[in-house]
Structure 1
Amino acid sequence: MNKKLFSLAVGGLGIGTTEFIIMGLMQDVAASLQISIPMAGYLISAYAVGVIVGAPLLVALSVKYNPKKVLMALMGIFALFNGLSALAPDFYSLLAFRFLSGLPHGAFFGIGAVVASKLAREGKQAQAISTMFAGLTLANLIMVPLVTFLGHQYGWRLAFVIVALIGIITIFSIRFYLPDVKISASHGVKEELRFFKTPKAWLIILITAIGFGGLFAWFSYISPLMTHVSGFSVKSVSYIMLVAGAGMVVGNFAGGILADRMAPEKAAALLFITLVAALIGVFFLSDYQPISIALTFICGALSMAVGSPINILMIRSAEKSAMMGAALMQAAFNIANSLGAYFGGLPLAFGLGYNYPSFVGAVMAFLGFLLSMTFMFRYGAKPHRLALN
């Protein structure tokens, strides 16, 4: 790993851990605070709302400041409110701290993506961004299972202490390892927002919010899919999640390489249509355990592989609004999370099987493919160069 990008990857590790940790510790939190499981679920929503609110707000407040110092300040906010989450005396204070700890998420990745692309060699920008997001994928593979285990053994509050410590380590890593990077001077919030008055900007956001919803439609219901359809035991689910996490790690780096070798909109379209095929495979073939495991790895890899092309597409398209654009991408990812979980759950509400969320995911990924193709024809290469090979 490029030592210059190490601190951004560590920050991604902390952010990925705190974003998903409640899912594994939900029952512990509910029992400790004497609330219902559905109420504990609001802690996930509170964090997501914090991401959506904080992404444009904190970038707007920081556009005129040194990116390195801004990244350190964002990690300071992150460490503070995760530390306070460990001390929360009741549900409502924890709910507030979860919202506040989500605020720096989008801004950190938004500014970090621009900084990473500036530090990269020519033609390697997408791979540099994928290095930053490696921390996020490693969080799903290693840290979330580990911290969940420690939280079960020693109390859920320890999980937030660990996350706060990762935030503090990130601050020192940024201080000592991340070089000062000069980003084109912004004339203020109006200039940052100017790009978002164009259809081009909202098309990229739609690609993200809808296309990535295909991932979350499948992933949100992976546990009942594997137990009720594939026939695995409940105890096996944690190992299956490791398979998905391993796929995400591989896909993250593969997506970065692909986006550096072809136009990012081409890479996104190619990956989305391949994800459609994989999710249709999940729908029809999950009865067969070996195939089900293989598809879990493949879907995890394909879904995360799209991240780097989409981020580099926004950064290149937004130009002077790159930081705001990259930050709003994180808001769009969280909208995708909500949309995917909601639409993926609709077939279940009508009594259909647990393989149907993957079919919904395939439809959403196909819409992401169509939107990517629309971008290619309207804003990308000329038509005679649009072949996906």
Structure 2
Amino acid sequence: MWKIYLLAAISFLNGTSEYVIAGILDKIAEANHISVSSAGQLITVFSVAFGAGTPFLIAMFARMDRKKLLVYALTVFSVINILIAIITGYEMLMSARIISALSAGVMQVTVLTLAAVLAAPGKQGGAIATVIMGQSSALVAGVPIGRVVASHYDWNVIFIGIGAVGLLFSVLTLFAIPKTVAEKPVPLREQFKFFMRPRIAAYLLITFLWLGAYSVVFTYISPYFLDIFGMSNHGVTTALFIFGIASAIGAQLGGFSTDKWGAFRTLTGGMLLHAIALLLFPFIGQFAFLFYVLLIFWALAAWSSGSPIQFQLISLAPAAASIVLSLHSALGQLGMAGGAGIGGIAVKNGLLNYLPWIGAFTLAIAVGVTVLDKVYLNEKQFKETQSTLFIK
């Protein structure tokens, strides 16, 4: 079981490298003499590279031993994060983040694969959930810890630490994880055929819009707290920590609600509450109590949507669950990239205070797609099935 925890720790490190920039965006902008919107594009390029590049790299290295692939990816990941800490120049930072994202994407897919293989019979689901929890825990601990380190030392120290720990994990993986042969790969052209199935395409679009709406605000969360609410560095750290805990609780509530009330009610309700929270942010002024209440409300609602979306995708393609979930992950990363990019344009044009409204508008579209799937696509699929059965 401890091998699964090692994989979860690697996943936590991976998530920290992705999310931590949102918590120190102002520090990076100041140190590199660039605008906050330009610094935000470091998140955009990471998500684009992660989402678009990972499927191709996994297909390219499909026949490689999973242990060896993880060691190679970890090594590249570690070295490039150390380089991020010492290189100078915005263009070099962008290039390094792209390489970091590609290695991170390979790492995440590989640790999930290894978790399923190494788990005891009947325990695969729990092992995968443990690894996923490792990455999501980066929001709870990794991001606020990164903010504390950047406040007391320098933002570079964070990436040196990520690189050093990554090299340690690489050595542990080399000695602790057994050799594992990957399953027979599914060609990319076969994977892309799922985009042609209307209901699966609808939920992949919902994934894109949901995480895009979230990313519009979360990417610029530190400057938003600092500039709009006038918070101190300590206040930002506290807010990020509270947000992370509420996010983890929200993910669990989403799973509970999906089981009890169904995916449609959980998803539409969660996204509507998410939109309401974002709509209210510009109205609460400097009231600290209202701010923290709304922050928790936002995190709970935002992260309740993941479980019902994944449940629906698995229900629509039970024989190809791994494929549709990998597409879900890729579209989610591209959605975060799109949100970060749009947010950067808004910030550059002095619209930082209104980022939540952009997110709320995007969520309204996502709710519309969800309802369309329920009342039209689902009904259409049912009629086609009934027609086929009648003909037979």
- TM-score, with structure 1 as normaliser: 0.77
Query: Structure 1 regions of 5+ residues with no counterpart?
Result: 384-389
Match of 2:363 in 1: 365
Which residue of the partner structure matches residue 387 of structure 2? Answer: none
User: Is the alpha carbon distance of 1:95 and 1:281 closer, same or farther for their aligned partners in structure 2, counting shifts above 3 Å?
Assistant: closer
Q: Which residue of 2 is the match for residue 165 of structure 1?
A: 164
Aligned CA distance change for structure 1 residues 316 and 14 (closer, same or farther; 3 Å): farther
What letter corresponds to residue 358 of structure 1 in structure 2? P
Q: Which position in structure 1 is the counterpart of 2:44?
A: 45
The answer (yes or no) to whether the contact 2:25–2:40 under 8 Å persists in 1 is yes
Code of the residue aligned with 1:368 in structure 2: it is A
Instruction: Determine if contact 1:130/1:252 at 8 Å carries over to the other structure.
Output: no
3-state DSSP of counterpart to 1:212: helix
Asked if 1:283 is matched to 2:279, the reply is: yes
> In structure 2, what is the equivalent of residue 304 of structure 1?
303
Deviates more, 1:174-183 or 1:133-142: 174-183
Q: 1:189 to 1:258 in 2, by over 3 A?
A: same
Aligned residues of 2:51 and 2:329 also touching (Cα < 8 A):
yes
What is the one-letter code of the residue matched to 1:11? I
1:70 lines up with 2:69 in the alignment: yes
- Offset of 1:61 from its aligned partner? 1.3
Q: Distance in 2 between matches of 1:254 and 1:146?
A: 25
Deviation of residue 332 (structure 1)? Answer: 1.8
The structure with the larger Rg is 2
* CA distance in structure 1 between the aligned counterparts of 2:186 and 2:131, rounded to whole angstroms: 27
Task: Return the letter of the residue paired with 1:92.
Answer: E
Report the residue type matching 1:59 in the other structure: I
CA distance 1:272–1:112, shift in 2 (3 Å): farther
* Letter of the structure 2 residue corresponding to residue 304 of structure 1: W
Paired residues for 1:225-304 under 5 Å = 233-235=231-233, 236-258=235-257, 261=259, 266-267=262-263, 269-284=265-280, 286-287=284-285, 289-304=288-303
In 1, Cα distance between equivalents of 2:92 and 2:227: 37
Partner SS, residue 185 of structure 2: coil
Equivalent position amino acid for 2:163 in 1: A
**2:4 & 2:175 partners in 1: Cα distance?**
11
Q: Distance in 2 between the 1:146 and 1:382 partners?
A: 50
Q: State the Cα distance separating 1:316 from its structure 2 match.
A: 5.9
For structure 2, which runs of at least 5 residues remain unmatched after alignment?
384-392
- For 1:106 and 1:315, how far apart are their aligned partners in 2? 21
Matches within 5 A, 1:203-222: 203-220=202-219, 222=221
Change (3 A) 1:293 1:112: same
CA 53–116 in structure 1, closer or farther in 2 if over 3 Å, else same: same
Q: Report % sequence identity.
A: 23
Q: Do the aligned partners of residues 258 and 22 (structure 1) sit closer, same or farther apart at CA in structure 2, a change above 3 Å counting?
A: same
Displacement, 1:162? 1.1
Partner of 1:386: none
Q: Which residue of 2 aligns with 1:55?
A: 54
| Alignment partners' CA distance in 2, 1:281 and 1:45 | 24
Provide, for residues 312-334 of structure 1, a one-character-per-residue CA deviation record: whole Å limited to 9, x for no partner. Answer: 54456556765554343333223
1:276 partner letter: L
CA drift of 1:239 comes to 1.5
Deviation digits for residues 238-292 of structure 1 (CA, Å, limit 9, x no counterpart): 3122211111122233434555x369xx436514423422541453473554343
**Counterpart check, 1:91 vs 2:90:** yes
Cα 1:115/1:323, change in 2 over 3 Å: farther
Name the CA shift for 1:226/1:286 in 2 (closer, same or farther; >3 Å).
farther
Counterpart position of 1:387: none
Deviations 1:350-374 (A, max 9, x none): 98893x5434433433433343444
Q: 1:305 aligns to what SS in structure 2?
A: coil
> Which amino acid is 1:134 matched to?
M
Q: Structure 2 length as normaliser, TM-score?
A: 0.76
- Give me the whole-angstrom Cα distance separating, in 1, the residues matched to 2:116 and 2:372: 25
Task: Flag the 1:34–1:370 CA change in 2: closer, same or farther, 3 A.
Answer: closer
Q: How does 1:147-186 map to 2 (within 5 A)?
A: 147-172=146-171, 174=173, 184-186=183-185
Match of 2:78 in 1: 79
Contact 1:213–1:337 (CA under 8 A) maintained in structure 2: yes
CA distance in 2, matches of 1:348, 1:84: 28
Q: How does 1:79-158 map to 2 (within 5 A)?
A: 79-113=78-112, 116=115, 119=119, 125=125, 128-158=127-157
